C-alpha cells in the first residue's frame, strides 16, 4: 500500500493524489480514497476517482471508503463523465483569463494553488471564506447588496433574504456572527455552554477501512481517564482484524469497568463517529440487546459529543469546526499534537505497516506511534472541555 501517492501523466497533462494505492496479486495498483460522503453518486467523487483510473491505465475499479463505513467501486461506467470533465478543464486552460472562482474550504485547503488563490480571496473578502457560506449563495447575497464579509458583518440578519444554500433565520443569523468573528478573530457566544455533570472519560477510536471483512476494523479504542495526564491513557488494542470481535468484547468489558468505577460516567468524544461505530459493531455481532450496548446507546447514554455544544453555543474564527482546527488555533484551545503530520489516515497507514511488519521492534515502534497519536486526540478533547469550562462557563 502506498499512502498519499502522486500520479502524473505529463503527456496528458493529468495529475492525481489518491489517498491510497493498493497493490493486488496481479501486480496492479488500485486507487482508493476516503470520503466523508455517505454516497458515491456524486459527480466530484466519480470524476476524481475516474481520473485516478485514467492515470493508472488499468481496468481496476477505484475504491471509495464512504463516511458511513461502506465501500463502493468506481469503474468504467464513470469514464464518460470523467472525459467530459477533462475536456472542459482543457478548454478552460486554453483561455488566457483566470476564471472567476469561489472559495471552498474543503476543496481549496488541499489544492496546490491554495497559496496563489487565498490572498485574492482574502483581499476581496470573499463571502465563501466563511464557515457556513456556500459559494453558490454568494451571487444572490451580492444581488442583495452584500458584497463582502464586512458588509455581511454589518448587516441586520432580519433584512437578509433567504438565498440558495442559506435559508432560515437561524442560518442567516449565524452567518452574520461568523462574519463578525472572522473580522475580530474572536469567539462569539450565542447561548450558554451546557456540559453534563459527572466523571468524564475522553474517548476516541482508530479504525482501518482496508480490511477483508465487511466493515471497518477498530484496532484501537482509546480513553483518557481522570486525572487526565499522559499516564492516564488507557486503551483496547487488537493486532489484526481476525481479533475484531475480541477487541469489541474487551471494549464492552472496559466500559463496564468504567461504569462500576464511575456511576455518573460521561464518555466524551468529538463528532458522531464513535456512536455510529458502536451501533454498527452491535449490529455486526447481533448484540443490540446486550446490556452494555443498551447502556451506551440508550436514552441515558454516557456518550457525549463535544462537537454539539460547540456548534450550538459558539461562533469561532475558523473555517471548519473540526477538532484539529479548533484545538490547534493559537487564540482558541492552543493544543498542539506531538506529531504534526499525524491524522486518522496517517494512523491507518501506520497500522497497515504494523500488519505487514515482521520485525518485532518495528511493530513495537509503530504501535507506540499510533498510541501516541490517539493519546493526543483524547488529550485534545480534554483540553477542549477545559477551554469551554474556563472561557464560557464561569
Torsion of CA 80, 81, 86, 87, to 10 degrees: 70
Nearer Cβ to ligand SF4 (107/190): 107
Tell me, by CB under 6 A, how many residues bind ligand SF4: 7
* CA-closest candidate to residue 199, choices 126, 260, 140: 260
In angstroms, give the least distance from the CB of 109 to ligand SF4: 8
78 DSSP 8-state letter: G
Residues 236 and 251: beta-carbon distance below 8 Å: yes
DSSP result, 53-77: HHHHTSSPPEEEE-TTS-EEEE-GG
Q: What does the per-residue mask of binding to ligand SF4 show for 111-150, with x meaning CB under 6 A?
A: x-xx--x---------------------------------
> Which region, judged by CB under 6 A, interacts with ligand SF4, from 60-68, 109-117, 188-196, 375-383?
109-117
Q: Does 101 interact with ligand SF4 (rule: CB under 6 A)?
A: yes
| CB-nearer residue toward ligand SF4: 117 or 311 | 117
Least separation in angstroms between residue 15's CB and ligand SF4 is: 13
Residue found under cell 442583495:
144
Cell numbers for 271, please give them: 463528532
- Residue 110 vs 361, nearer CB to ligand SF4: 110
CB of 110 to ligand SF4, least distance (A): 9
Cell of 361: 521492534
Whose Cβ is closer to ligand SF4: residue 121's or residue 387's?
121
- Nearest-approach distance from CB 92 to ligand SF4, in angstroms: 11
For residue 390, count other CB atoms closer than 10 A to its CB. 9
Given the complex with ligand SF4, which of 107 and 308 has the nearer CB atom?
Answer: 107
Q: How far is the CB of 97 from ligand SF4 (least distance, A)?
A: 14
Cell numbers given for 20: 491510497
- In whole angstroms, the minimum distance from the beta carbon of 101 to ligand SF4 comes to 4
Of residues 105 and 171, the one with the C-beta less far from ligand SF4? 105
Q: Give the residue, chosen from 7, 62, 63, 108, that forms a contact with ligand SF4 under the rule CB under 6 A.
A: 108
Alpha-carbon span 319 to 275, nearest angstrom: 25
Buried b vs exposed e over 32-60: b needs ≥16 C-beta within 10 Å? bbbbeeeebeeeebbbbbbbbbbbbeeeb
| Whole-number Å distance between alpha carbons of 317 and 65 | 31
Using the contact rule CB under 6 A, the part of the chain among 25-33, 104-112, 324-332, 341-349 near ligand SF4 is: 104-112
Residue with smaller CB distance to ligand SF4, 114 or 189: 114
CB of 105 to ligand SF4, least distance (A): 9
Residues 6 or more apart whose Cβ sits within 8 Å of residue 236: 220, 221, 247, 250, 251, 254
CB of 36 to ligand SF4, least distance (A): 18
Residue 220: in which H helix or E strand, if any?
A: strand 217-224
Q: Decide if 333 contacts 327 (C-beta within 8 A).
A: yes
Q: Considering beta carbons, is residue 114 or 308 the nearer one to ligand SF4? A: 114
**What is the sign, positive or negative, of the torsion defined by CA atoms of 190, 392, 300, 283?**
positive
Segment lying near ligand SF4 (by CB under 6 A), choices 68-76, 107-115, 182-190, 193-201: 107-115
Q: Which residues bind ligand SF4 (CB under 6 A)?
A: 101, 107-108, 111, 113-114, 117
Amino acid at each position: 500500500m502506498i499512502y498519499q501517492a502522486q500520479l502524473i501523466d505529463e503527456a496528458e497533462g493529468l495529475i492525481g493524489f489518491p489517498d491510497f494505492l493498493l497493490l493486488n496479486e496481479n501486480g496492479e495498483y488500485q486507487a482508493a480514497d476516503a470520503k466523508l460522503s455517505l454516497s458515491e453518486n456524486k459527480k466530484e467523487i466519480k470524476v476524481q476517482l475516474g481520473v485516478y483510473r485514467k492515470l493508472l491505465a488499468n481496468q481496476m475499479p477505484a475504491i471509495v471508503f464512504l463516511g458511513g463505513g461502506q465501500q463502493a467501486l468506481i469503474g468504467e461506467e464513470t469514464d464518460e463523465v470523467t472525459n467530459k470533465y477533462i475536456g472542459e478543464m482543457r478548454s478552460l486552460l486554453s483561455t488566457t483569463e483566470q476564471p472567476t472562482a469561489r472559495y471552498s474550504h474543503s476543496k481549496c485547503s488541499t489544492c496546490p494553488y491554495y497559496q496563489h488563490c487565498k490572498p485574492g480571496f482574502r483581499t476581496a473578502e470573499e463571502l465563501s471564506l466563511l464557515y457556513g457560506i456556500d459559494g453558490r449563495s454568494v451571487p444572490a447575497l451580492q444581488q442583495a447588496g452584500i458584497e463582502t464579509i464586512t458588509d455581511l458583518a454589518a448587516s441586520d440578519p432580519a433584512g437578509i433574504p433567504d438565498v440558495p444554500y442559506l435559508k432560515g433565520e437561524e442560518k442567516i443569523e449565524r452567518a452574520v456572527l461568523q462574519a463578525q468573528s472572522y473580522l475580530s478573530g474572536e469567539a462569539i457566544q450565542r447561548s450558554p455552554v451546557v456540559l453534563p455533570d459527572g466523571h468524564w472519560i475522553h474517548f476516541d477510536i482508530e479504525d482501518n477501512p482496508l480490511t477483508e471483512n465487511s466493515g471497518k476494523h477498530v484496532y484501537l479504542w482509546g480513553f483518557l481517564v481522570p486525572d487526565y495526564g499522559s499516564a492516564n491513557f488507557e486503551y483496547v488494542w487488537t493486532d489484526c482484524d481476525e481479533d475484531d470481535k475480541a477487541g469489541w468484547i474487551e471494549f464492552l468489558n472496559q466500559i463496564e469497568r468504567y461504569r462500576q468505577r464511575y456511576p455518573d460516567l460521561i464518555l466524551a468524544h468529538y463528532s458522531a463517529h464513535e456512536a455510529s461505530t458502536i451501533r454498527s459493531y452491535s449490529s455486526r455481532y447481533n448484540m443490540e440487546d446486550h446490556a452494555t450496548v443498551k447502556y451506551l446507546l440508550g436514552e441515558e447514554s454516557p456518550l457525549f459529543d463535544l462537537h454539539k455544544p460547540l456548534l450550538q453555543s459558539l461562533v469561532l474564527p475558523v473555517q471548519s469546526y473540526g477538532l484539529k482546527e479548533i484545538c490547534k488555533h493559537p487564540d482558541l484551545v492552543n493544543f498542539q499534537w506531538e506529531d504534526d503530520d499525524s491524522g486518522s489516515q496517517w494512523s491507518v497507514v501506520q497500522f497497515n505497516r504494523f500488519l505487514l511488519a515482521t520485525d518485532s521492534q518495528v511493530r513495537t515502534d509503530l504501535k507506540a506511534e499510533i498510541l501516541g497519536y490517539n493519546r493526543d486526540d483524547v488529550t485534545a478533547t480534554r483540553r477542549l472541555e477545559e477551554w469551554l469550562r474556563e472561557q464560557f462557563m464561569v
